[in-house]
Structure 1
Amino acid sequence: MPQGIIAGQELPPADDARRAALLQSVPETDDTTPLAAQLAEDARRRIRLQGAKFDKPAETRIFTIANQKGGVGKTTTTVNIAGALANGGLTVLVIDNDPQGNASTALGVDHHAGVPSTYDVVIEGTPVADVVQECAAIPGLLVVPATIDLSGAEIELVSKVARENRLRNAVESYLSWRAHEGLERIDYVLIDCPPSLGLLTINAFVAAREVMIPIQCEYYALEGLSQLLNNIELIRGHLNPDLHVSTILLTMFDKRTNLAREVADEVREHFPVETLEATIPRSVRISEAPSYGQTVLTYDPGSSGALAYMEAAQEVAERAPRTNHHTNAASAEEDNR
C-alpha cells in the first residue's frame, strides 16, 4: 500500500477504477489489532473522499444544530460539517447564534465587542449582508459571527414585535438579496445554538427546516432528548410546520468501549432513518483545532476526526434532493425557444 495514503498525503486525482484499485490494496484487519484497523479504515476513507465534490441540493437547506444537553459537540459539529460541505464545492453560511461565540472562534472570524454580529441582525434588524464575513481558510464558507452583545439578546427580544421570527425573516431576506444580486446561491445554512431553550434557540428553530442533533456516545446521552423532541413538536405546531429532525450524528464515539457501542445501538434502534452511518470519534485533534482558530479540516486534514466529518457531510449531502442539471438545462433551452 502506498505510504502516502496512511501518512495523510494528498492523492492525485483518481478515476473510479484507480480508486477501486487503491481500496482493494488496503489490507483487511479486525478488532484484534485496533490500531491497524483504525489506520486501514482511515486509508479507505481518504481514498473515497479525496477530491470529492458534493451535488448541490435542489434548494437551500437550513439546519439548526441543537441539543439541550451541553458538551455534546454542537459547535464542533456545526463548524466542521460546514467546512466539509464547503470543501465539497458548496456555498455554506454559518450563523453563530450562541453568545459564547465559539463557532466564530473556530472559523477564525473577528467577533470582538462592537463587530457587527447576530445581535445586530436579531435585535437591530441589520441585514445579514452587512454582517456576514468570509472564512479565510475555507473558500465558499460565510459566517455571521456572535459577540458578547448577544448575551443580552434574550431579554431584549421579549419586547420585540414578532420576536420568534426575526432570524427567519433576516435569513429569507438575505437569500432573496443574493438571488437579486446574481450571487452564488447559498446551498446550506447551519445555525449554531446555545444549550438552552430560550428565544435565541426558538428563533433558530423557526428559521430552519431541519434539525441536526449531535448525540454524545456516553452515559446519559439520551437524557433530555425526549424534552427536545417535545419542544420541536411545539414549534412545529405553533410556529414552523416545516421543522423536522432530519439528522442525528453520533459524536465522541470510541468503538473500543462497550458503553459507546451500546449507546450507538440504542440511538440507531430509536432513530434508524435519521442517524447517520458516519460517527465522529473522540479525538484530540478535533479538540485542539478551535484553539488555533481553525476547524479540524484545516488544522489536520488527514486525521481521523477530519475524515469522519467529511464522511458525515457527504452523507448529509447525499440525503438532499439534488438539482437536476439536465432538466434545468432542458427547461432553460425550451424557455429560450
Structure 2
Amino acid sequence: MVKILAVTNQKGGVGKTTSCVNLAASLAATKRRVLMVDLDPQGNATMGAGVDKHGLERSVYDVLTGRVDTQEAITSETSGGFDLLPANGDLTAAEVELIPVKRKEFRLKQALNLVQDNYDYILIDSPPSLNMLTVNALVAATGVIIPMQCEYYALEGISALMGTVEKIRAALNPSLQVEGILRTMYDPRNGLTRDVSTQLLDYFGDKVYRTVIPRNVRLAEAPSHGLPALLYDKNSRGAVSYLALAGELNRRCAQSPNALAS
C-alpha cells in the first residue's frame, strides 16, 4: 500500500525541500518506487532533481487545473532515480483558478489516485506557508513529515503546524497523522540544539526520527548541480544521513499494519 507523505513546515529555511529530494533519492536507492510531487511554485525541488523548471511542457499546475492527466505530467528524467511531478512559477496561478472549483481541496488527491498504485512512496514538497496548495498536500497525504531545526522559534512553529494538521484531519482528511519529526541542520555542539532535541523527544517520543540530519556543506552544494547528495558525494555526512532516514522509514512501514511490500 502506498505511503503518501507531505513534507511540510509553515516555517521556511528548515531543510524541507532538501529533505524531500534527498529522501526520495535515498528511498529509490533502496529499490522503492518513488514519486516526488513539487507543490511549491519556487520549483526548487524540481531543479534539485535535475529537471529544468523553465523548460517544462507540463507541470503539476496543468494537473491541478485539469489541463492534462496526471501521468502526462510525470517525468522519469530525474537525477535521483525517482519519478517527478514538477512545478514552476505557473503554479502561483493555480490558487486563483481553483477559487470557483468545487472540492478544490481534493484536486491533488484525485490526481494522485490515478497513479498511486505505481508507487511505494509519494513525497510531496509543500510550500512554506498555509495556502490552498498546502491544504491540497495535507488532504492527499496519509502522513506528514515535519523537518525542523532545533531552535526556540521552531518549537512555536511546530505547535502551529500541529494545530493545522488537527484541523485538516477533523474537516477534510480523517486518516491524516504526523508520520515523523525530522531534526535538520543538527549541530550537537550547540547547547540549545541539544535542549530543544530533548524537549522534542520528551513530548513527541517515537514520532521523532532517530536519524538526525547534520549541517553539511555537500548537502548545500548538491542542488546547484541538480543532484541529490547521494549522487553528488555519496560519502558525505548528509548523504549517509538521508540513507539512514530512508532505512528508518522503510522499517517503520514494515512494522505498520499497512506495510509496504518489500
Per-residue Cα deviation, 1:199-244 (whole angstroms, up to 9, x for no partner):
0000000000100000112331212211111111111111100000
Q: Within 5 Å, give how 1:234-249 maps onto structure 2.
A: 234-249=167-182
- Whole-Å separation in 2 of the counterparts to 1:205 and 1:67: 11
Kindly indicate whether structure 1 or structure 2 has the higher relative contact order, using CA contacts under 8 Å at least 6 residues apart. 2
Q: Aligned residue for 2:196?
A: 263
Q: Within 5 Å, give how 1:59-208 maps onto structure 2.
A: 59-112=1-54, 115-139=57-81, 141-175=82-116, 185-208=118-141
Q: Within 5 Å, give how 1:288-327 maps onto structure 2.
A: 288-321=221-254, 322-323=259-260
- What 5-or-longer segments of structure 1 have no aligned partner? 1-58, 177-184, 326-337
- Whole-Å separation in 1 of the counterparts to 2:115 and 2:99: 24
Q: Percent identity?
A: 44
**Structure-2-length-normalised TM-score:** 0.95
- Whole-Å separation in 2 of the counterparts to 1:75 and 1:211: 14
SS in 2 for 1:215: strand
Q: Within 5 Å, give how 1:36-47 maps onto structure 2.
A: none
- Whole-Å separation in 1 of the counterparts to 2:85 and 2:261: 30
Q: Number of paired residues? A: 258
Let me know the Cα RMSD of the aligned residues: 1.4
Q: Is the 8 A contact 1:125 1:170 kept in 2?
A: no
Structure 1's consecutive aligned runs of 4 or more residues displaced over 6 angstroms after TM superposition are none
- Whole-Å separation in 2 of the counterparts to 1:295 and 1:113: 20
- Whole-Å separation in 1 of the counterparts to 2:185 and 2:77: 26
- Whole-Å separation in 2 of the counterparts to 1:92 and 1:197: 25
- Whole-Å separation in 1 of the counterparts to 2:32 and 2:97: 35
- Whole-Å separation in 2 of the counterparts to 1:170 and 1:93: 13
- Whole-Å separation in 1 of the counterparts to 2:29 and 2:69: 27
- Whole-Å separation in 2 of the counterparts to 1:104 and 1:289: 13
- What 5-or-longer segments of structure 2 have no aligned partner? none
- Whole-Å separation in 2 of the counterparts to 1:295 and 1:153: 28
